[in-house]
Amino acid sequence: MSVRHAILALLSEGPKYGLQLQKEFESSTGEIWPLNIGQVYTTLQRLERDGLVESDETEVEGPQKGFHITDAGVEELASWLNTPPDMTSPPRDELVIKVLSALRVPGISVHDVIQVHRRYLVELMQQWTRLKEDESDFDLTFALVVDAELFRLDAVVRWLDTADGRLKRAASEPATAPRGPRLARRLVVRR
Amino acid sequence: MSFLELRRVTKCYGAGPTEVHAIADVDLAVECGSLIAVMGPSGSGKSTLLTIAGSLEEPTSGEVLIDGTSIQKMSRNDKARLRRRTIGYVFQDFNLLAGLTAVENVSLPLELDGLSARKAQAAGMAALEELGLADRAAHFPDELSGGERQRVAIARAVVGERHLLLADEPSGALDSTNGEAVMRLILAACKRGVAAVVVTHDAQLASWADRVVFLRDGRVVDQTVPPPSPESLLEESPPPGLVR
């Protein structure tokens, strides 16, 4: 959905044509998100159909055809910007499932499994950090995208660290009553 | 050649049934110009590793070599000289002397090493200028922000001809922007040839390092391999969840 809104955001600055939108989209995502021109035109057609943009009637079809945002488009854009994406459902994260599964497999050390994933994530973070090492070489949008990736990966490393510590403590404490039903009940309430 | 090398270093506290291995059989080699991060949870032995590497504490067994010389074989005076001249320390809580200005804090180790006050002051000013703190030189630590205090601490650690920088959670309680600034300064020192070891539990700080070593229960359990060129990230599919 958000290529559509990213295009509306670019058009909110003033009328633009397709090729220009493609280039500006790529630079606004720090050059890390390639977008083909076909997708730009498909999106523009849909936006026009929904009354959110209008094309310049005087121009012929083609790369120089201009588009501008309508009042309904401005309203839709503001509403999208201010609507938090749905992050309430507990994600069925593959990494979480792997760690939970490792607890059940005989002969597998869950701490070793955690470390394999931790190292992979830190190696990935090293690569992202290297991208922002040369401050003269990156612009603001690129820095924001790199930061977003680093914080996302960092959150996973922190979860692994916490899980590692929790499992270590649990191993040295006497077993407690199973907690599955309580957790399940809480998740149902959250939904 | 490695500037800092730890060979099968073990440190035990207590004896008999209460004996605790803070670190056990740790091997670590740090080249000139490289930045190594040591990651691990609290109590994993990170700080012990750093104090032993910096000759502030003796290992129970094993050997520490700095610039090819075993520090166990040095006299107390030689070790003190090594600490003053060669090693810079950065601590979590900055450890600046409250009664001295920023520039006095930075130049103090040089004066203690016998440099004239005027020359030490000039070197201190140069180090502060490099870190963008020239206008704060005459301020006392309590007149500086947290980020500025940590930059002064880094200036003090790299002033003169120090070749080894040892930092224990150097971003302390700083926010992530200041934490990044601290790592950029440490990296800049490495680019000038300094060998640096940063111990931290923070993956974002550790990710500035050339190599990350993972410590668990006092043992090195793993380390990162040199990452491929970061450009490979841009060739892959876009990161999930950002746009689209």
- Which of B142, B139, B144 minimizes the C-alpha distance to B103? B139
**What does the pLDDT look like over A136-155, one tens digit per residue?**
666 788 888 899 999 999 99
Question: Domain coordinates of chain A in residue numbers?
Answer: 2-81, 94-190
Report CB contact under 8 Å: A33, B244.
Answer: yes
Percentage with pLDDT > 90 across chain B: 60
Q: Compute the nearest-CA separation of A180 from chain B (Å).
A: 28
pLDDT at B113: 83
Query: What are the start-end ranges of the H helices in chain A?
Result: 2-11, 18-28, 37-49, 71-81, 94-102, 110-131, 140-172, 180-190
Question: What's the pTM?
Answer: 0.84
CB pairs under 8 A between A and B: 87
**What does the pLDDT look like over B15-46, one tens digit per residue?**
888 888 899 999 999 999 999 999 999 889 99
CA-CA-CA-CA torsion sign (B185, B191, B193, B199) = positive
Q: Compute the nearest-CA separation of B14 from chain A (Å).
A: 22
**What does the pLDDT look like over A27-60, one tens digit per residue?**
877 667 788 889 999 999 999 999 999 998 765 6
Collect all residues with Cβ–Cβ distance below 8 Å to A18 and sequence separation of at least 6.
A37, A40, A41, A44, A63, A65, A67
Q: Is the pLDDT of residue B11 over 90?
A: yes
Report CB contact under 8 Å: A128, B242.
Answer: no
Q: Compute the nearest-CA separation of B195 from chain A (Å).
A: 18
Residue B155's H or E segment, with its range, is: helix B146-158
pLDDT at B174: 79
Of the partner residues B184, B224, B233, the one whose CB lies closest to the CB of residue A131: B233
CA angle B80, B84, B87 (to 5 degrees): 105
B175 in contact with A, Cβ within 8 Å: no
Query: What are the start-end ranges of the H helices in A63-139?
Result: 71-81, 94-102, 110-131
Q: Domain A2-81 has what CATH class?
A: mainly alpha
Of the partner residues B208, B216, B223, the one whose CB lies closest to the CB of residue A129: B208
**What does the pLDDT look like over B111-129, one tens digit per residue?**
988 889 999 999 999 889 8
Disruptive mutation site among A121, A126, A160, A166 for chain B (greatest number of B CBs within 10 Å): A126
- When comparing pLDDT for B232 and A157, which is higher? A157
pLDDT at A132: 85
pLDDT at A180: 55
